[in-house]
Chain A
Amino acid sequence: MTDIDYKIVVGLEIHVQLCTRTKMFCGCELIFAAEPNSRVCPVCLGLPGALPVMNKQAVEFAILTAAALSCKIAGLTKWDRKSYYYPDLPKNYQISQYDLPIGSNGFIEIPLADEKTKKVRIRRVHLEEDAGKNLHTAENFSQVDLNRAGTPLLEIVTEPDVNSDEEVRLLAVELQRIVRFLGVSEADMQKGHMRFEPNVNLVIKKDNAEYKTPITEIKNLNSFKALEKSVAFETQRQLDKFLESGTCLQSGNKQTFGWDDIREVTVLQREKEEAHDYRYFPDPDLVPVVVNEKWLAEIKTKLCGLPLKMQNRFVSEYGLSDYDSAVLTADRTTAEFFDSSVKAGGDAKRLCNLITQTGLKIANEKGCKVSELGISPQKLAELAGMVEAGQISATASVTIFEEMIQSKSSPAQIAESLNLLQKSDAGELEEIVDEVIAANPKAVEDIRSGDKKSKKAHGFLMGQVMQKTKGAANPQVVAKILNSKLNS
């Protein structure tokens, strides 16, 4: 058997649909799944004489994202026409950016499984308009829906720094989290807001020689699952093919594949890389965009800490688990709400529990964010403080949380009015403990015997006290009194 080792090399082209109010170059509103050809105007239909007008918000979103990915932001950027004929492209050219992309030379940091992170370099970030959709539902003709035509798309191109199918997925998930965090895209995979095109090949070491397999591009993947599986499939396919034929990377032998979601295989679409000549040239209908320091600074004020940075800070500063921290930083407003609550004086772990276990559940049911439930970080911090101080039980905190959504009262007032304050008054509790001890000599004997029945008996006595106080006793205080009585 020959000695063989290989490395996967993947670079990605990613399209992210921006959540601006209107399209990239006209005033049509962006609405998903409207009646075909109902969100169109002379500009996005490419009618004679119509002219594009740049959507400033889209440019700001693009700059924001590029800045978040540590890109160099172009001081001067422009629009270029990319020419190709296709029925879903009404002008038969796409307005895009060629030699002066908005951002270049950045990186994205992705979390790896073993709590390490990896930097994947970003080659460029540019803006362009999306095409429409060709519909092939009829028998002998096709139809074109141009609702999507002109939608702002951010194209992000990475360097070939990704080295496994898992890394590909982690990068995609992290990018989704970032664009959501920045509020520039809904990044809803089901609505096609993110589309991936990985370029895959292998570097194979065999008998002390190194070989590179031909690059394949997998087109138009719109789920994390398809992305990961297609790269895994392609890895194996390329390895098998190499072992069978020994074919290596040459100029011009790049192939294009599609992904069959049902059979879970890649399907060859184009044998050779087509010698596409897009005849790029500057769009004379649009003026170049000058990104001056003032504007850039203004945009950068919206730049928040990236989710991964925030996640790591929550672990190191607040002592949260990696898991909890990831849940909190899945959404920017939630992460910021949590952070503000901690800064308002609440205990981080209690707050995390309140938000992840109670808040997110209620917010999901209501279809809003935790921060939109009407509870201020200050009040949530108060609530966490009451749990921490043993004034209320964890169970009671859920009831109070729910009540706080409707009520303007403080958590303490609510606890009071719902009678949820725990009894921590040692004098009052001592009497009850005495009563329970007197009524259960058998259990007391079991505890004092110190054998294995002891623990169960202890629990029984605790339960009796709680029952007599209707659950309002602070269990820590009860245990303390009980222990001191039994040990005396």
Chain B
Amino acid sequence: MSKNILKLTCRGLRDSIAKGEVKSSDAVSAVFEQIEKHDAKIGAFLSTFKQDALKKANEVDEKIGKGKPVGALAGVPITVKDNMCTTFGTTTCASKILQNFRSPYNATVIEKLLAADAVIIGKTNLDEFAMGSSTENSGLKKTVNPWDYSRVPGGSSGGSAAAVAAQMCFAALGSDTGGSIRQPASFCGIAGLKPTYGRVSRYGLVAYGSSLDQIGPLARNTVDCALLLNVIAGHDEKDSTSVDEKTAPLCDWLEKIEQPVAELKIAVVPQLFKGADGEVVNAIKGAIEVYKKLGAEIVEINMPHFEYAIAAYYLIATAEASSNLARYDGVHYGYRTAKPADYIEVYTKSRNEALGQEVKRRIMLGTYALSSGYYDAYYLKALKVRSLIRSDFTAAFEKADCIIMPTSPTTAFKIGEKTNDPLQMYLSDVYTIAVNLAGVPAISIPCGFDKNSLPIGMQIIAPAFAEGKLLQVAGMFENETDFHTKSPVIK
């Protein structure tokens, strides 16, 4: 029975629970059985809440038994990345500096999940403060790729992606600043959606690069992403950058996804195929053929400023990070050095002892970029590049409904392969970063496997607030293919 439950999609489970065919408590027991069996090796979770989860599941089962109304995710086991504040458990950001931090409040997305009667079963590993592309920068735990334990799950939402792929939950929330949802989704063979900047409240998401950060779902397929987006999207008065619903109306994305896009025009950017592995390129080309067969028109476009995205990103994101992370100082909460000589040492030693190398590197980069005398040459220039990249996207969307390209130039790489070369690591986000700079929505869905049977991800990018169209286009592909139904064989 439990094996069969685990094979259900998020939406499938939700419907079965609502109909009383499956008990939420059985679903929760099934995922915990899976976690207890495999997570010691995979390392997706930083914390789990078995007792509370079972209690919540029983409550949902009881409500359904009595015919009472329940929320859109009633009884479904969900995990969240450990950089979203929860009043239960800790919120560590995979950093020693917040290892024992307990938040007195819930992030808005957590409140929304709870209001939808989701069962939050645990919090997942990440690169420390979401800074990384492999989850190797976690200060607390190592996570491996469920498809190949010698490989990284991607990052920074690597724990969330691994948990979904290894069927230790039915969907997860991640955050995406430069590809942190899409790239691990791609590496783990699942779907990962980064909504438009402003679509989902950031209140309670521990900030990395505030103008780029966006919360989104990781799930087994596009439909599940739509279901989660229905729950988490919307204006939040606590987040001034969340968009009001007059400007960006909400819709039922589950309903939207049912319809294909008529006269679909897809843009591809030939210049961008150069940097990717041959197998990745072939898989994307194969996917484009699928769309062609569905009647889509393919338009070749040029995005002249795309190649500057990484440079601009590592100035803007790090500048914001240097300021956002200043609060972790050992004074008010979090880790404090044992014997400071004076208050300056409370700062210097606490931060030096508890922050990881990559976090320090980015704080230094960002501090430098904002320093007097360098601001114009670095930060301001990066902002100008950002606006050029935005205009590249605007121009592209005048010619096509969406843009298709690889999510990552490679499939999952080996653990340790890029840890000594940060620049190589940064380059693995070449396709995803520009999307955050432009603020537009994008999804990664499985579109093939390489010779090592590792999943390949296709990235679809749509105009701002066109999540509906984005999900439709992704759904059209999933209807024709079965890559999204494949799961890793877990030993």
Chain A interface (Cβ < 8 Å from any Cβ of B): 42, 45-54, 81, 83, 85, 87, 90-93, 142, 144, 277, 279-281, 284-287
Contact = CB atoms under 8 A, between A and B. Distances in A.
B240 A287 contact: yes
27 contacts: A42-B103, A46-B332, A47-B333, A48-B85, A48-B93, A48-B206, A49-B91, A49-B202, A51-B239, A51-B241, A52-B240, A54-B240, A83-B323, A85-B326, A90-B327, A92-B327, A92-B329, A144-B331, A144-B332, A277-B371, A280-B370, A281-B319, A281-B370, A284-B209, A285-B207, A285-B210, A287-B240
Interface residues of B, number: 43
Contacts of B207: 48-49, 285
A83 B326 contact: yes
Contacts of B238: 51, 53
Contact of A49 (B203, B319, B323, B372): B203
B297 interface: no
Given A53-B237, A91-B326, A285-B241, A48 B103 contact: yes
Contacts of A42: 103-105
B240 A286 contact: yes
A89 B83 CA distance: 23
B347 A85 contact: yes
A-B CB proximity, top 9 nearest: A92-B326, A284-B210, A284-B211, A279-B370, A49-B204, A48-B206, A49-B85, A277-B372, A49-B206
Interface string B79-95: 00001110000010100
B426 interface: no
A91 B329 CA distance: 9
Given A52-B240, A81-B323, 14 more contacts: A46-B332, A47-B103, A47-B105, A48-B85, A48-B91, A49-B83, A49-B203, A53-B237, A85-B347, A92-B327, A93-B323, A277-B372, A279-B323, A285-B207
A51 B202 contact: yes
Contacts of B326: 83, 85, 91-93
Contacts of A54: 240
A81 B207 CA distance: 15
A87 B343 contact: yes
B226 interface: no
Contacts of B98: 48
A50 B203 CA distance: 6
Interface of B: 83-85, 91, 93, 98, 101, 103-105, 107, 202-207, 209-211, 237-241, 319-320, 322-323, 326-327, 329, 331-333, 343, 347, 367, 370-372, 375, 379
Most buried by B among A48, A87, A287: A48
Contacts of A46: 327, 332
A287 B332 contact: no
Contact of A285 (B206, B240, B322): B240
Contacts of A48: 85, 91, 93, 98, 101, 103, 206-207, 327
Contacts of B371: 277, 279
A243 to B, nearest CB: 37
Nearest to B326: A92
B127 to A, nearest CB: 16
Contacts of B375: 279, 281
A54 B319 CA distance: 22
A281 B319 CA distance: 9
Given A49-B204, A90-B332, A287 B241 contact: yes
Contacts of B329: 85, 92
A45 B327 CA distance: 10
Contacts of B323: 81, 83, 93, 279, 281
Nearest to A85: B347
Contact of B320 (A53, A87, A284, A286): A284
Contact of B241 (A81, A83, A284): A284
A278 B209 CA distance: 19
Contacts of A277: 371-372
A51 B332 contact: no
Nearest to A285: B210
A44 to B, nearest CB: 11
Given A85-B329, A93-B326, A284-B320, A51 B372 contact: no
A144 B330 CA distance: 13
A287 B241 CA distance: 7
A285 B204 CA distance: 12
Nearest to B383: A282
Contacts of B91: 48-49
A53 to B, nearest CB: 6
B302 to A, nearest CB: 30
